[in-house]
Amino acid sequence: MKYEFGYGNTTQSVEIADRNLLAELLPNPVPGVESEVGEVERALREPIGAPRLREIVKSGEKVAIVTSDITRPMPTAKVIPSLIAELEAGGVRKEDMTLVFALGSHRKQTPEEQRKLAGDYAFENIKVIDSDPSDCVHLGTTSRGTPVDITRVVANADRVICLGNIEYHYFAGYSGGAKAIMPGCSTHDAIQTNHRFMVQDAACAGNLEGNPIREDIEEAGRMLGIDYILNVVLDEHKKIVKAVAGDSVKAHRIGCAFLDTLYGKTIPERADIVIVSQGGAPKDLNLYQTQKALDNAKYAVRKGGTIILVGACPEGLGGTTFEKWMLEAPTAQSMVERIGKDFQLGGHKAAAIAMVLQNADIYMVSEMKPDFVRSIFLTPYPSLQKAYAAALEKYGPDATVITMPYGGSVLPKP
């Protein structure tokens, strides 16, 4: 049977015999909601592990609302009016509310970007700022040695409310929850210290239990004192299909469980060959973006197997630090060793690719030049069909195959 995978603005196709195919992993049908805003208001009426927000806050209190910056799909503008109304019902004045964009290690945003994210209503009615890693309050150190240095306006607030969208995160387990604070409102040193645990086996997508990065994040959240979260789950079109509000851990866990019903895919066993794509443009613009699909595919391939990564990558690697790490590394393993000692954003993506290479070969179908692909420890092929033929020759005619045409969204669960 013929299978197609998004590749830039076109597709790559491959013929796979029925006897070889173990599973085709597609996102589960997404239940819609009548109204995105209505779902947010429902979550605020039905909080998890906490009273209604209006019963917690008091008149005169300073409230910091922490939300995602422009690099994340969190639809703050859709969510914030209902949250402001809930705070006002508890007696909080608009002049005592501050919306803080959690930059982490990202660049500052322009006023135009802030307005677009916050929406006109919030931008014109409450204070809107970016977090400032140069102006932080030191609250202590986590048990894992991470400094808890939080941007001053958040650290000094009477109440802290965290917004965010929940999706799989390849070393924090899931996004959302206290992640708005660590790394969102933290310093570069704190982020470096926290993220260095990404090399541990438990620091992986879809895992919360014993995940050192998530546990460190939530310990920092407890030290600050997060009063409330309001998190959402988005469908493939970035529409809200679920909202959760309340306790920063209990509500977050309910949101994570819901995400699993949409994008968690149980597989019968790990396969010899996994074929994965981000789904085409714009998600496969470069390898930095395409890596997300690769990282999910590693959960579907057996040790010693092969992942065929289909991504046009017309812009090459993408990201200066990422490119520097990939091109300077003498071996793939050296990047794993380096990230444990010298965590750098961008470098972490290079290390993540190297960690996949510890257990599987990666065949790359892209527009990048073959010699260049070889120089970054991947095996180039001009087409998916030729890559698959090579993999089939390697493992024999009875090789097992799993396909993941939307690899950035689904998470295989053996």
Residues 6+ apart with CB under 8 A from 110: none
Mean pLDDT value of segment 363-383: 97
Task: Return the amino acid letter for 64.
Answer: A
Residues 6+ apart with CB under 8 A from 397: none
Rounded to the nearest angstrom, the gap between the alpha carbon of residue 55 and the centroid of all alpha carbons in its chain is 32
Q: How far apart are CA 97 and CA 76, in angstroms?
A: 15
Find the domain containing 10 and state its range. 2-25+267-413
Q: Are residues 225 and 308 in the same domain?
A: no
Q: pLDDT at position 138, please?
A: 96
Residues 181-236 have pLDDT tens digits of: 999 999 888 988 888 888 898 999 999 999 999 999 999 999 999 999 999 999 87
What is the DSSP code (8-state) at residue 364? E
Instruction: Look at residue 376 and tell me if it is in a domain.
Output: yes
Alpha helices in 198-286 (DSSP H): 212-224, 250-263
Q: Are residues 8 and 66 in the same domain?
A: no
Q: Domain with 144 in it: what CATH number?
A: 3.40.50.11440
Residues 128-164 have pLDDT tens digits of: 999 999 999 999 999 999 999 999 999 999 999 999 9
Task: Return the amino acid letter for 112.
Answer: E
User: Is the distance from CB of 229 to CB of 176 less than 8 angstroms?
Assistant: yes
Residues 261-315 have pLDDT tens digits of: 989 999 999 999 999 999 888 888 899 889 989 999 999 999 999 999 999 999 9
User: Is the distance from CB of 136 to CB of 151 less than 8 angstroms?
Assistant: yes
Q: Does the predicted TM-score (pTM) go above 0.75?
A: yes
Q: How far apart are CA 389 and CA 366, in angstroms?
A: 16
Give backbone dihedrals phi and psi of 53, rounded to 5 degrees, phi first. Answer: -60, -40
Predicted confidence band at 106 (pLDDT cuts at 50, 70, 90)? confident
Q: Are residues 145 and 170 in the same domain?
A: yes
Considering only CA atoms, which of 109, 105, 43 is closest in space to residue 78? 43
Instruction: Look at residue 31 and tell me if it is in a domain.
Output: no
Instruction: Look at residue 301 and tell me if it is in a domain.
Output: yes
**10 Å Cβ neighbour count for 167?**
21
Q: pLDDT at position 208, please?
A: 95
Say how many domains are in the chain: 2
Mean pLDDT value of segment 81-105: 96
Instruction: Look at residue 30 and tell me if it is in a domain.
Output: no
Residue 336, CA distances (Å) to 321, 325, 399 in order: 15, 11, 30
Residues 6+ apart with CB under 8 A from 182: 146, 148, 190, 191, 194, 216, 217, 220, 221
